[in-house]
C-alpha cells in the first residue's frame, strides 16, 4: 500500500489531480501494482479524505495530545516521538496531527515503522494541497544515516 501512496505523491500534485478511482486503478495496475495493494491504498485514501473533512477544526491549536493505550500500541514510541517533533517544530498543526494519527492507526498493524509514518505525514500534506517546508521535506525523505553533518 505504501508504495502506491508514494507513487501517487510523486505523480499527482493533489488528490483532485488524480483521475477517477476506476481509471486510477487501471493506471496503477498498468504501472505494476497488485490489485489488493491498489484496493487497500484507495480505501486508505477514502479514509484520508473523510479524516480531512472531520479533523479540520477538531483540535485546538496548542492543545496537549494524550495518546490512548491502543494508539500507543499501534503508533509505537518512535512514531509518537516523530509526531511530537513535527508539532514542536511548528509544521504539524493540531488538526493535521489528528489526521496523521487517524491514518496511521487505520493501517491496523503496530507499531508502525517510522518510514511508513513519514509517508503518512506526506500524504496528509498532499491531501490538503500543502507543501511541507524544505527542512521538513529533508527530514521526511533523507534517512538519518545518510545525513551529512557540517
What's the pLDDT tens digit per position in 46-89? 999 888 877 655 667 667 889 999 999 999 999 999 999 999 98
How many other C-beta atoms can be found within 10 angstroms of the C-beta atom of residue 39?
15
Of 2-11, 106-115, 120-129, 139-148, the one with minimum mean pLDDT is 139-148
| Per-residue model confidence (pLDDT) at position 149 | 45
In the predicted model, what is the mean pLDDT of the chain?
85
Query: What percentage of the chain exceeds 90 in pLDDT?
Result: 61
Q: Cα dist. 61→45, 68, 122 in Å?
A: 25, 20, 20
How many other C-beta atoms can be found within 10 angstroms of the C-beta atom of residue 42?
18
- In angstroms, rounded to a whole number, what is the distance separating the alpha carbons of residues 9 and 15? 9
What's the whole-number mean pLDDT along residues 14-37? 91
Question: Considering the entire predicted model, what is its pTM?
Answer: 0.85
What's the whole-number mean pLDDT along residues 15-42? 92
| Per-residue model confidence (pLDDT) at position 141 | 65
User: Does 148 have pLDDT greater than 50?
Assistant: no
Give the residue with greater pLDDT, 68 vs 109: 68
Amino acid at each position: 500500500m505504501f508504495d502506491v501512496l508514494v507513487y501517487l505523491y510523486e505523480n499527482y500534485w493533489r488528490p483532485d489531480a488524480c483521475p477517477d478511482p476506476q481509471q486510477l486503478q487501471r493506471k496503477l495496475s498498468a504501472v505494476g501494482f497488485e490489485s489488493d495493494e491498489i484496493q487497500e491504498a484507495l480505501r486508505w485514501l477514502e479514509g484520508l479524505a473523510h479524516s480531512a473533512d472531520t479533523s479540520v477544526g477538531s483540535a485546538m491549536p496548542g492543545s496537549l495530545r494524550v495518546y490512548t493505550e491502543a494508539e500507543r500500541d499501534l503508533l509505537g514510541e518512535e512514531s509518537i516521538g516523530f509526531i511530537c517533533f513535527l508539532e514542536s517544530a511548528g509544521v504539524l498543526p493540531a488538526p493535521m496531527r489528528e489526521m496523521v494519527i487517524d491514518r496511521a492507526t487505520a493501517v491496523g498493524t503496530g507499531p508502525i515503522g517510522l518510514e511508513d509514518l513519514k509517508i503518512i505525514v506526506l500524504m496528509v500534506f498532499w491531501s490538503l494541497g500543502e507543501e511541507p517546508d524544505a527542512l521538513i521535506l529533508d527530514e521526511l525523505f533523507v534517512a538519518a544515516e545518510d545525513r551529512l553533518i557540517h
